[in-house]
Each structure stands twice: as structure tokens, then as C-alpha cells.
A and B are shown apart, each in its own frame.
Chain A
């Protein structure tokens, strides 16, 4: 485990769940809507675009309990990305992506995404090093 991320970092973590009674798109749209004060339609459009870019446009209307681990992870990742912070930290991906080979999955997602930040920092347990 590393030190706690600074305020400038956007974090994807098992400890930061999605809002359970809202769909993935609504969860992502919360940020442009309430932090950057876009109107509801624009915020929703931004969220949809981001999900499409990551290749998961289909999860937009699903809520947390209905998503597979990978889908849930993507929703969380999109929520962190849309914050547009200078660093992106993924904490213990193994705890969120327990049913797939996650290093490859992460690389695939990173390749699809072309916005800032360009590099994603992954914090994982030391014993998982051989996986990467």
C-alpha cells in the first residue's frame, strides 16, 4: 500500500463505490453537472461520450448491483477520468477486477482512452508484481 493520494489525484478504489441508486451514466454525469455546472443534457452527453470511448456504451443505464465487476470498474474509472485531475490513481485493481486478467484489461482501456492524464498510476500489492 502506498500513501494516500493527494487532492490533485483522481482515485479509482474499492473504497469509493458508485452511488447505488443511480445508473452508471448518471453517476458519471454528476461531476460535470454539479461541479462544473453544465446543464443536465450536456452532462449526460459528456458521460455517454466517455463511456463510448472506453468501449462500454452499453452500461449507461445499468445500476451498480446490475453490473459485472469489469463494467463497475469502467464506470468508476470514467467517473475518475471526467474529474480531469492531473493524476489518475487506480488502487488495488485486483479487488475490483477479480474475475479477469486485469493488467491486460487495464492496458486495453488505457489504449482506447486518449484524453488527459496520459499516464495512469496503478497501486497494487507487491505480490501481484509478476502479473504485470
Chain B
């Protein structure tokens, strides 16, 4: 009986904790959106900080990212082509590559890379700002950190996920064409037909929405986790751990939902 009671109590505490965290994230997101909607936000200074964030999040790792896409795409394209050849489905290989790499794998891996690199940095920084009282100092000065600390990072994250995915996708398409048809223009019309049959307008729209959600997830979740940190220095690693765990769950959730919407 005692055990059962304990179990129920623990479950309740966990549920309340989860609800609190979810609510915190949603409230934070609402604040982000309301800041976005305010015209006063869109001044030169905000744009400058956004540019800086895009630089740190995307441009700085562009060459690393492209090499990494090159390697992954090459491996997957080669495997797909040789398998397709073996089972006599070579005609379907191009479509398979586009569907697997461009629609699912590349956006996901890009978001994961940004989460690992920038998401964790954002989480640590916000947690340290909280622990060091910097946020209190800003609120004493009646300056909202949202506009020059949080919003630019979120915008930078979203732009970076979309931008890197676009560049990576173009690279992958080129690679796939070369792998299938080689250095000749003969396969161009067949390749175009495959691409056009996969990328209907709803699919393109869905891909863009997915990338936006990925970008939001890899930036807002670490920020919200950082803001939740208690004012104790040793809680910073715990905060980062929680934030990154949530980012991972959110990425998987977004991916699964997008797949479910597309294929069910």
C-alpha cells in the first residue's frame, strides 16, 4: 500500500514537472512571437545581432557542414544505388535517394548539428546569465533581453537550419545526379521528372515548415532550459543536460509527426 502510494505520488510529481516545463517553453515561445510581431523590434540593432548570430551559427561551420554532407550523402547514395541494382529496382533509386536524404535525413542531421553546436552553447550561456544575475541586472535597467539576446539567436537558428539544409540538399542532388548518370546531360530530363514527382508543392511547403520547427526547437528549448536554472553554479551542467535531452526529444517528435502526416 505504502509502495503504491509512493508510486502514485512520484508519478504525480513527474507529471507536474513535465507540465511546468512544457508550459514554460510554450510561454517563452509566445513571448518570442509577440516580440517578433512588435514593429519596434525591427530596428538596425536587432538586425545586426541577427546577422552576427547567423554568422556564428551557420557561416562559421559552412565548410565543415558541406564536407560532412558530402560524406554522408556519398555513402548513402552509393549504398542505395548498389542495393537497387541488385534487386532490380534501379529506376526507383533516384526517388529513394531524394526521399530519404533530401526530405528526411538532411534536415534532421542539420538540426542535430546546430543543436549540438549552437543549442548547447545557447543553453550554457543563458544558464550562466541566469546564475550570474546578469538577467536581473538587465531587468533592473528595464532592458528586455528578449530583443537582443534571445530573439536574434532564435532567428539565427531558424535561418541557419533552413540555409544549411538548402545548401546541403543542392549538393546532394548534384552528387546523386553524378552518381547515377555521370558527367553527361543525358539523364537530365529523367532526373527532373523524378524530382518533380517527389517535390509537389505541399511537400515543399511541409519541408519548409519542418525546417522552421527544427530551427525553433534547437534554439528555444535550450533557452527555456537555461532560464529555468536555479541560481547555483553547479546546476548549469544539469540545465544543459535537460535542455539537450528536450531538444533531442523534440527533434524526433517533429520528424515522426512529419512522417506520419506525409505517409499516413
Take A31-B143, A34-B143, A35-B142 as given contacts and tell me if A18 and B137 are in contact as well, using a CB distance cutoff of 8 Å.
Answer: yes
Does B8 count as interface, using CB distance less than 8 angstroms? no
Closest to B45 in A: A40
Does A20 count as interface, using CB distance less than 8 angstroms? yes
Does B132 count as interface, using CB distance less than 8 angstroms? yes
Docked complex Cα distance between A15 and B231 (Å): 12
Does B63 count as interface, using CB distance less than 8 angstroms? no
Take A30-B141, A30-B148 as given contacts and tell me if A17 and B44 are in contact as well, using a CB distance cutoff of 8 Å.
Answer: no
Closest to A22 in B: B148
Interface size on B, residues (CB 8 A): 21
The B34-79 residues at the A interface (CB cut-off 8 A) are: 40, 43-45, 48
Docked complex Cα distance between A24 and B51 (Å): 21
Most buried by B among A16, A20, A34, A39: A34
Which bucket holds chain A's interface residue count?
10 to 19
Count of chain A to chain B residue pairs whose CB atoms are closer than 8 Å in the complex: 52
Please determine whether A40 and B48 come into contact, CB atoms closer than 8 angstroms.
yes
Please determine whether B148 and A17 come into contact, CB atoms closer than 8 angstroms.
no
Partner of B138, one of A19, A21, A37: A19
Docked complex Cα distance between A15 and B139 (Å): 12
Please determine whether A15 and B136 come into contact, CB atoms closer than 8 angstroms.
yes
Please determine whether B132 and A16 come into contact, CB atoms closer than 8 angstroms.
no
Please determine whether A17 and B141 come into contact, CB atoms closer than 8 angstroms.
no
Q: 0/1 per residue, B108-135, Cβ < 8 Å to A?
A: 0000000000000000010011001110
Q: Which residues of A contact B44 (CB under 8 A)?
A: 39-40
Docked complex Cα distance between A21 and B145 (Å): 13
Most buried by A among B40, B125, B140, B148: B140
Most buried by B among A30, A35, A79, A83: A30
Can you offer 30 A-B residue contacts whose CB atoms are under 8 A? Answer: A11-B140, A15-B133, A15-B136, A16-B133, A16-B140, A17-B132, A17-B133, A17-B134, A17-B137, A18-B134, A18-B137, A19-B134, A19-B138, A20-B129, A20-B134, A30-B138, A31-B141, A33-B148, A34-B45, A34-B144, A35-B143, A37-B43, A39-B43, A39-B44, A39-B45, A40-B44, A40-B48, A79-B141, A83-B141, A83-B142
State the A residues within 8 Å of B (CB). 11, 15-21, 30-31, 33-35, 37, 39-40, 43, 79, 83
Q: A15-B136, A16-B133, A30-B141 are known contacts; what are 20 more A-B pairs with Cβ within 8 Å?
A: A15-B137, A16-B137, A17-B134, A17-B137, A18-B137, A19-B138, A20-B128, A20-B129, A21-B125, A30-B138, A30-B143, A31-B143, A33-B148, A34-B143, A35-B142, A37-B43, A40-B45, A40-B48, A43-B45, A83-B142
